[in-house]
Structure 1
Amino acid sequence: MAATRVMMITSVASASQTTSSFFTKRPFLLPPTHKVSTFNGLCFSKRALSVKSKRPFSCNAIYNPQVQTIEQGQSETLDYRVFFQDGSGKKVSPWHDVPLHLGDGVFHFIVEIPKESSAKMEVATDEAYTPIKQDTKKGKLRFYPYNINWNYGLLPQTWEDPTHANTEVEGAFGDNDPVDVVEIGEKQRKTGEVLKVKPLAALAMIDEGELDWKIVAISLDDPKAHLVNDVEDVEKHFPGTLTAIRDWFRDYKIPDGKPANRFALGDKPVNKDYALKIIQETNESWAKLVKRSVSPGELSLF
């Protein structure tokens, strides 16, 4: 049942601090693409989030088998899919089964679109096991009109609820997808690669009336990762990047004859604390979704 896969926030008192853990009865996924990797179960400090969990649970180890990504079909075709599977060969969902939190403000990020590419890849939220595929429109594959200049993908175990109006962002409703991430590191990643990232800022994009958050983050293995910890650091060490991200997402639909997207919250990026708040809230929305506290509609919950 979908409810058995819900990653719940847990806590345990210790002599020095309170810690929390996400756990699941299903396996979770680890990077990189076409390779098998493992690491230990993880806990995270409540202090890493701006909003604390309302329910205490006891901290449990996370089950962590070997996992890998498997490509099916040829790239840039309607049949192409990137599936995730565990060490036994069982398919698992990158959206639902990859743990979100890693601790100390670090999160998992799944790459859908590598930087300097234009094929519009996405997690197929309405297909079993939610593989990554190329988006389509009227039966044709979709491409951006120009390359995206950053690694782009999603935060697992998040969901922008289309029934929830965000009173802080013009009362806009969520876009019914996981939260998007723009990773600004120097390396070009691979579709299906799972990275450890830290959020730095967020942009509140309004796309055809729907709220479509863009979390700006950096991979921990980037050479500049230690230099950037909040929105002002991005401008200092990656000058012009936040403006370039906003302008890219504002304008990319214009060549197709559509109006420009726009941005709420003063057309400016918000800071790390606000980004963490967004992640917490959309993770809670995802938990309600997989527990069927809200209707999933056509979304796949496995």
Structure 2
Amino acid sequence: MPFNCTTLFKLFCFCIATLVFGCKKQDLSKLDTYTSEGFITAVIEIPAGTTKKIEYNKQLLEFKIDQINGKDRIIKFLPYLGNYGFIPGTLSDKTKGGDGDPLDIIVLSDTKQTGTVLSVIPIAVLRIVDEGEEDDKIIAVPEKTTDRILDVETYIEWQERYPASITMLLTWYNNYDTSGQNVILGIEDETVAKTIITKWQL
């Protein structure tokens, strides 16, 4: 079909619309908490095996390295043992004892890039109090078995098959923050984890 002015104008408009609307950033904090299959959605901020404290900025819709006194916040200890992020559609309400942020999650799997969105299964929760506020960390494994490094779906299975990894995680959290503000209460099972997710779901 030969090009004419009308055709070229429509093509131009299509290209502009693609550039303007096709590249629009999505607010990852507003994704559904649960997938259509009933699994939990996890947004990864900090890849496993790294030390920079990366956080999602929902105003800028970007991932930024957290800063303290104008300097990048870097963990002065061993790198993160799991992929650290948040559960969208949740908020740990300060008026109810939370820390004012979306519920944290640790996904035990191979390293996932910042911004990765995963469908996961909660297997436990690490109970933490930080400066008097609840700062619980949901512990999960990928829903897809091909993405798993631990062959588990429950806390009992995790305890029975990989007890050393539980000890490692507790040791890391007891040592990575030397401020003395974190109090580690211990780890509870997936039933408690699911209750906490429901508690903070928007």
TM surpasses 0.5 = yes
Q: After the TM superposition, which segments of 4 or more aligned residues of structure 1 sit over 4 Å from their partners?
A: 222-226
8 Å contact from structure 1 (residues 155, 178) kept in 2: yes
8 Å contact from structure 2 (residues 55, 66) kept in 1: yes
- Write the distance in 2 (CA, Å) between the matches of 1:113 and 1:226: 19
Higher RCO (C-alpha under 8 Å, 6+ residues apart):
2
Give the direction of change, closer, same or farther, for the CA distance of 1:280–1:213 in structure 2 (3 Å limit).
Answer: same
Aligned residue in 2 for 1:177: 101
Aligned length: 181
**For 1:153, which of 49, 73, 85 is the aligned residue?**
85
Aligned residue in 2 for 1:9: none
Give the direction of change, closer, same or farther, for the CA distance of 1:226–1:145 in structure 2 (3 Å limit).
Answer: closer
- Write the distance in 2 (CA, Å) between the matches of 1:148 and 1:108: 20
- Write the distance in 1 (CA, Å) between the matches of 2:29 and 2:35: 16
Post-superposition CA distance 1:72-129 (Å, at most 9, x none)? xxxxxxxxxxxxxx97222221112x2111155411111101111001001125x243
Say if 2:194 is the partner of 1:270: no
8 Å contact from structure 1 (residues 197, 218) kept in 2: yes
Say if 2:26 is the partner of 1:95: no
Say if 2:163 is the partner of 1:230: no
Q: CA RMSD in A?
A: 2.1
Give the structure-1-normalised TM-score: 0.56
Give the structure-2-normalised TM-score: 0.82
Give the direction of change, closer, same or farther, for the CA distance of 1:119–1:225 in structure 2 (3 Å limit).
Answer: closer
- Write the distance in 2 (CA, Å) between the matches of 1:149 and 1:226: 13
- Write the distance in 2 (CA, Å) between the matches of 1:217 and 1:87: 34
Q: Which has the larger radius of gyration?
A: 2
Aligned-pair identity (%)? 28
Say if 2:154 is the partner of 1:220: no
- Write the distance in 2 (CA, Å) between the matches of 1:175 and 1:87: 35
- Write the distance in 2 (CA, Å) between the matches of 1:108 and 1:249: 23
Gaps of 5+ in 2: 1-19
Q: CA deviation at 1:225?
A: 7.3
Matches within 5 A, 1:186-265: 187-223=110-146, 224=148, 227-254=151-178, 258-259=179-180, 261-264=182-185
- Write the distance in 1 (CA, Å) between the matches of 2:27 and 2:155: 31
Gaps of 5+ in 1: 1-85, 165-172, 288-302
Q: CA deviation at 1:241?
A: 1.8
- Write the distance in 2 (CA, Å) between the matches of 1:239 and 1:87: 48
